[in-house]
Amino acid sequence: MSAAKIIPADLLDQLRRDREKIAAELPELMERGQRLDEAAAENSLSGHLRRAIHRSRRPLKRIAGEVGLDVYLLCDFLEGTATLRSDVLDRLAQSVGAIIHLEPGPLQRNDAPVRPSDSA
């Protein structure tokens, strides 16, 4: 036979308060998750780097420390709400072992006629 366990009232109150906090935070966390997904899906250099960071499965705190970046700024970059300098992007790519292959696109010509300058 198993004995029924009685949960103390103060523990039940704490559980209720914690559930209320979670319910209040959930919509914001869902929106943030959506922003993370959208930013990582971008077909851009930053989007590729974001995906590499996510796929590395390394703690963001460790990555940020290695590149000399505040972890909150790294999170903002991953969300797409902050940009980073190119040297920081380089260090991030090295930190997660990202290999980014770029190919030049077709050269775009400006077909507009060039006007001679009026400095004659």
Residue-wise pLDDT for 46-58, tens only, equals: 999 999 999 999 9
In angstroms, what CA-CA distances link 51 with 29, 107, 115? 19, 28, 45
3 or 31, which is more confident?
31
- The whole-model pTM stands at 0.69
pLDDT of residue 19: 94
Render pLDDT for 58-71 as a digit per residue (tens, 0 to 9): 999 999 999 999 99
Helix count (H) and strand count (E) of the chain? 5, 0
| Percentage of the chain exceeding pLDDT 70 | 88
Who has greater pLDDT, 116 or 54? 54
Tell which residue, 39, 76, 78, 32, has the closest CA to residue 56: 78
